[in-house]
Amino acid sequence: MDQKQDKAERPYADFPTLRNAAWARARKWIAGATFLLTVPAMASDGDPIKGEKLFKACKACHQVGANARNGVGPHLDGLFERPAGTLEGFKYSSAMKKLGSDGMVWNEFSLDLYLEKPREYVPGTRMSYRGMPDRQDRTHIIAYLRELSKAEPASEPEPETVTPEMGAVAMQIDGDMAYGEYLSSECVTCHQVSGRADGIPSIIGWPKKPFIRALFEYKTNVRSHQVMQNMTVNLGNEEIAALAAYFGSIDPQ
Amino acid sequence: MPNLTRRSFGLLVGAGATSLALPYYARAQGKPKVVVIGGGAGGATAARYMAKDAGEDLDVTLIEANPAYSTCFFSNLYLGGFRDFDSITHGYDTLSSNYGITVVNGMADAVDRDAKMVVMADGSKVPYDRLVVSPGIDLIYDSVPGYSEEAAEIMPHSWKAGPQTQLLKAKLDAIENGQQIVMVAPPNQYRCPPGPYERVSMMAHILKSKGLNDSKIVIIDPKPKFSKQALFQEGWDKHYPGMIEWYGPDVHGGIVKVDASTGEVETDLDTFQGDLVNVIPAQKAGMIASKAALTNDSGFCAIDPASMRSKEDDSIFIIGDACIAGDMPKSGFSANSQAKVAAMTIRGDLTGSRVFPAKYSNTCWSLIETNDGVKVGAQYAPTDEKIASTSKFISQTGEDAGLRQATYEESIGWYKGITTDMFGA
């Protein structure tokens, strides 16, 4: 196997920024896959129908398919072969942007490793997902993404419409940034202002609507989390709008 | 005290008129000075927030006796082998380099409140316009007859993280099968209400994981009940059956004395012999608070619930374990929360920045056994009398393992979050 071919089949041969353990694991795994299959095609094992069901866990943050838009997470249209952290209009962590500028692209390999243990594969990622330990599940979801991500994303960002749902009043308020900054001091004891998700979700750089909706869902016990229910129970519309404005304005580090 | 603008404050201290005529660097030295005593969850947070939010408008000095700070929170996880000691120890370099805080490594010995100066142990003086006192606790050794600072070298308290914690860890790791551990739990009010019981859980975890099944842990408690009692007792029955015995005062009848030379804890009921005895005595505000005459008969400091301002002195704020915080427990989370109210109020005093209504929160996570985490927490708001709880929650008995694991993982995220919030990044 000459060096050029070697590199083509091992897309991370020149990829230095993975943490050592993840990198060692990746190399071992890729070496195995290469040996067995020569042309790695693990997504062919996946069932996109099963993948669609599994993707429900991702849908609160990620859209995929025709007219997908960025939400709490980036939309996933055109995902395959896209360099990491490069979708315009989304606030990525500096860790993710660094990977992209170092040449990492999204494909079966990188998605498989990232989805297994996101925080281990990309230390500093904003994605709060704990990971999908089952390898077969990952092949299903990657097969699903492979199909759906061929669609065209929406051309315009989502208009911030006011709908008769929870949080509609807060949506109409122009949040007081200074008040939001003070109130945020209560949140950043756990949620790091850098945007790092080390076991507690990143809450910076979110669009206004999902941020407000999330706080109302905690406040009304639609979402179950004791700390967040308790933190939001005394927040009014002014407070929620102020927090959305302040956290929404922060760029990840 | 009314809200002061920066200028009116300058006039009050008699420097405003002349400072305008001075060159820039001299005026810069005349900017309002805030001094913080104590670099823990309260003091480090207060210093960082004031420096971060006031920028060049405030001169912030942090006085801390130790060159690095080991957190009391998560020190039980070190005892249980879940963390190493380095991972709970933090330096002050970032506060100094990234936030422009003057970090003074030394012991504050007194406060000259009339002259508004902190007097250091070496005799040097640090002037302030506003002072934050966040010294944590001091131990009242003789609250347990026979106990003393010297006895603590044999029967460690380990209630201030540092060498005492490492001493307890060494003694715990040396326990052999059949040997007994005795804990003398503290009376209210003390730092970290669930802490003694999380510690017992971590001790039991070590005994169990080493197969020391004939060893026991006995808790002699001066209190008739304790924090998260149902959760701990459920967890002890589940994970460590027969290993932990808890005796309240109605059983042991009172603690007569401890004897470091024999390892005995004598109560009205019986004398308990420990190969390792962990004595956690009663507590009071750190010594500087009483030296500055900021404490009352309780040994702690009364504050205005809306601002954390001392009831004794308008220029002084007391936060963390040293203050009387109403319904808030003495915890790192509470201290961090109180620090933000104090920092905002002080900035309002000195720079005229906006002051918002105070709000406070706390959550205490405890680990019972691997991946079995529980939590208790509340929100608080000031009333005329005290900082009062407005809503609260607690983990439930019988929760499924997945939720308990998520709670534990959340506590790790919180540790990363709060230590970043204290020491900067």
The closest alpha carbon to B189, from B334, B58, B288, B20, belongs to B334
Q: Are strands B137-140 and B282-285 parallel, antiparallel or unpaired?
A: antiparallel
pLDDT band at B3 (very low <50, low <70, confident <90, very high): very low
Residues A131, A172: one domain? no
Q: Which domain holds residue A23?
A: 3-148
Domain membership of residue B16 (yes or no) is no
SS3 B216: strand
Residues B51, B181: one domain? no
The closest alpha carbon to B263, from B271, B279, B274, B272, belongs to B274
Residue B364 to residue B408: CA distance in whole angstroms: 11
B305, B335, B359: which is the final residue of a domain? B359
Give me the pLDDT at residue B29, please. 57
- Give me the amino acid identity at A117: K
Q: Residue A49 belongs to a domain with what CATH number?
A: 1.10.760.10
Residues A96, A13: one domain? yes
The continuous run of DSSP H or E covering B385 comes out as none
Domain membership of residue B418 (yes or no) is no
Average pLDDT over residues A194-203: 91
Give me the pLDDT at residue A165, please. 65
Average pLDDT over residues B19-33: 56
Higher pLDDT, B147 or A222: B147
Helices (H), ranges, A16-164: 20-37, 48-54, 94-101, 108-116, 118-121, 135-148
Residues A121, A181: one domain? no
Residues B183, B312: one domain? no
CB < 8 Å to A226, chain B: 375, 377, 393-395
Please name the member of B333, B354, B410 whose beta carbon is closest to the beta carbon of A178.
B354
ipTM of this predicted structure: 0.87
The closest alpha carbon to B195, from B337, B74, B326, B281, belongs to B74
Residues B271, B201: one domain? yes
Residues B183, B273: one domain? yes
B359, B391, B418: which is the final residue of a domain? B359
Is B395 in the A-facing interface, judged by CB distances under 8 Å? yes
Q: Is the per-residue pLDDT at B266 higher than 60?
A: yes
Phi/psi of residue B181, nearest 5 degrees: -110, 135
Q: Would you call A185 and B392 a contact, using CB atoms and an 8 Å cutoff?
A: no
Residue B415 to residue B410: CA distance in whole angstroms: 9
pLDDT band at A151 (very low <50, low <70, confident <90, very high): confident
How do residues A113-145 score in pLDDT, each as one tens digit?
Answer: 999 999 899 998 999 898 999 999 999 999 999
Domain membership of residue A154 (yes or no) is no
**In the predicted model, what is the mean pLDDT of chain B?**
94
Residue B178 to residue B170: CA distance in whole angstroms: 17
pTM of the predicted model, to two decimals? 0.84
Residues B332, B228: one domain? no
Residue A107 corresponds to which tokens in the numbers above? 């494909």
Is B331 in the A-facing interface, judged by CB distances under 8 Å? no
Q: Residue B350 belongs to a domain with what CATH number?
A: 3.50.50.60
Q: Would you call B418 and A189 a contact, using CB atoms and an 8 Å cutoff?
A: yes
Output the CA–CA distances (angstroms, integers) from residue B161 to A109, A167, B74, B205, B355, in the order listed: 45, 44, 10, 20, 34
Residues B183, B68: one domain? no
Question: Would you put residue A200 in left (φ > 0), alpha (ψ -120 to 50) or beta?
Answer: beta
Domain membership of residue A14 (yes or no) is yes
Closest residue, chain A, to B337 (C-alpha):
A186
CB < 8 Å to A198, chain B: 412-413, 416-417
Give me the pLDDT at residue A160, please. 62
CB < 8 Å to B337, chain A: 186, 189
How do residues B303-315 score in pLDDT, each as one tens digit?
Answer: 999 999 999 999 9
Domain membership of residue B307 (yes or no) is yes
Domain membership of residue A235 (yes or no) is yes
The closest alpha carbon to B137, from B278, B294, B299, belongs to B299
How do residues B44-98 score in pLDDT, each as one tens digit?
Answer: 999 999 999 998 999 999 999 999 999 999 999 999 999 999 999 999 999 999 9
Domain membership of residue B11 (yes or no) is no
Please name the member of B49, B333, B416 whose beta carbon is closest to the beta carbon of A192.
B416
Q: Which domain holds residue B208?
A: 142-282
CB < 8 Å to B392, chain A: 230
Domain membership of residue B405 (yes or no) is no
Strand partners, B258: B265
Give me the pLDDT at residue A168, please. 86
Residue B214 corresponds to which tokens in the numbers above? 């004939």
How do residues B207-239 score in pLDDT, each as one tens digit?
Answer: 999 999 999 999 999 999 999 999 999 999 999
Structurally, chain A folds into a number of domains equal to 2
**If you ran DSSP here, which 8-state letter would residue B191 be given?**
B
Q: Exposed (0-12), middle (13-18) or buried (19+): which is B275, by Cβ within 10 Å?
A: middle
B309, B328, B359: which is the final residue of a domain? B359
Domain membership of residue A39 (yes or no) is yes
